[in-house]
């Protein structure tokens, strides 16, 4: 039962343009959301996160938007750079603490930024 | 600050064998989680360890087991390997009261 879904397996964007990666979730009890970036032969790297009490979080070129009513979040990368080419995973958490700390991941979106 | 490390990098085993994978936590982190990432899928939660005890398990059978040591390093053991166990196994460390988990590079396990 996939509680976090990334319906676009791939996205291709020209350098300098905006990249928008989307993520949907089904469990309304999720209270924290994270984005990870993964290069080949490396583990996922934490990128940015957002609490369910917020609707936007920004960190440099990366902004995450959360629409709780639609159970949807998105990651915006502006401007996109070739080094951003990687697989992006959306993840969600039910809470902190020893029994709630597991992350639920989507299947990932392969972003390719071309010159 | 030392990041999360895992060993070995790659491993080939035969069906029915047993395997042990190792993980060293990032400095200062007291919680370790293990994930399995099959080809084309996102990481799937196996279990989490805190204070040397298992805290939470995903939908994995008992032949997947683990340990956490006093220095917060961890092992994942898989018995009676099956072909479907072929995957990338990721270890992640964190503080128990933090949402963010920090991943190691993974161990690629191939079962033939």
Three-state secondary structure string covering chain A: CCCEECCCCEEEEECCCCEEEEEEECCCCCCEEEEEEECCCCCCEEEEEEECCCCEEEECCEEEEEECCCCEEEEEECCCCHHHCEEEEEEEECCCCCCCCCEEECCCEEEEEEC
pLDDT of the residue at A98? 53
Residue B95 confidence (pLDDT): 85
d(CA A9, CA A20) in angstroms, rounded, equals 13
Residues of A within 8 A of B51 (CB-CB) are: 98
Nearest by CB to A101, from B33, B42, B43: name it.
B33
Mean pLDDT of B11-16: 98
Cα gap A85→B46, rounded to integer Å: 28
pLDDT of residue A97 exceeding 70, the answer is no
* b/e code B53-72 from CB counts within 10 Å (16+ = b): eebbbbebeeebbbebeeeb
Q: Which of B44, B50, B92 sits opposite A98 (nearest CB)?
A: B50
> What is the overall mean pLDDT for chain A?
94
The pLDDT score that the predictor gives to residue B72 is: 87
Asked whether residue A100 carries a pLDDT value surpassing 80, the answer given is: no
A101 interfacial to chain B (CB closer than 8 Å): yes
CB atoms inside a 10 Å sphere around CB B2:
9
**pLDDT score for A87:** 97
Average pLDDT over residues B20-31: 92
User: Which of A71-85, B9-23, B87-101 shows the lowest per-residue confidence on average (mean pLDDT)?
Assistant: B87-101
Q: Looking at mean pLDDT, say which of A18-22, A93-97, B36-40, B57-61 comes out highest.
A: A18-22
Query: Strand locations in B3-82, DSSP E?
Result: 5-7, 10-13, 19-24, 31-37, 44-50, 53-57, 64-68, 74-78
- Whether residues A32 and B99 touch (CB distance < 8 A) is answered with yes
B42 vs A96, A99, A107: nearest CB: A107
* Structure tokens, B87: 């995957």
pLDDT at A112 over 90: yes
B chain contacts of residue A43, beta-carbon cutoff 8 Å: 4, 6, 90, 92, 103-106
A59 touches chain B (CB under 8 A): no
- Mean pLDDT for B80-94 is 96
A89 and B42 within 8 Å at the Cβ level: the answer is yes
pLDDT mean over A13-37: 96
Sheet bearing B74-78, strands edge to edge: B5-7, B19-24, B74-78, B64-68
Per-residue confidence (pLDDT) for residue B96, from 0 to 100: 76
If you average pLDDT over residues B62-78, what whole number do you get? 95
Q: Residue B12: is its pLDDT beyond 70?
A: yes
pLDDT value of position A36: 97
């Amino acid at each position: 039962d996939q509680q976090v879904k990334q319906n676009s397996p791939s996205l291709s964007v020209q350098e300098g343009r905006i990249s928008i990666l989307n993520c949907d979730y089904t469990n309304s009890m999720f209270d924290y959301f994270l984005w990870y970036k993964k290069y080949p032969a490396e583990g996922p790297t934490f990128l940015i996160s957002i609490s369910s009490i917020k609707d936007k979080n920004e960190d440099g070129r990366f902004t995450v938007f959360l629409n709780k009513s639609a159970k949807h979040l998105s990651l915006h990368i502006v401007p996109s750079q070739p080094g951003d080419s990687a697989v992006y995973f959306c993840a969600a958490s039910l809470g902190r603490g020893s029994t709630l700390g597991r992350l639920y991941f989507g299947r990932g979106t392969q972003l390719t930024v071309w010159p | 600050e030392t990041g999360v490390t895992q060993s070995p990098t790659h491993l080939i085993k035969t069906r029915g064998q047993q395997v042990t994978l190792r993980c060293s936590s990032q400095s200062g982190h007291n919680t370790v989680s293990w994930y399995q990432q099959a080809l084309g899928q996102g990481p799937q939660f196996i279990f989490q360890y805190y204070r040397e005890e298992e805290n939470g398990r995903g939908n994995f059978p008992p032949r997947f087991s683990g340990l956490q040591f006093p220095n917060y390093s961890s092992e994942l053991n898989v018995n009676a390997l099956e072909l479907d166990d072929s995957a990338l196994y990721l270890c992640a460390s964190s503080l128990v009261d933090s949402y963010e988990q920090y991943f190691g590079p993974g161990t690629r396990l191939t079962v033939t």
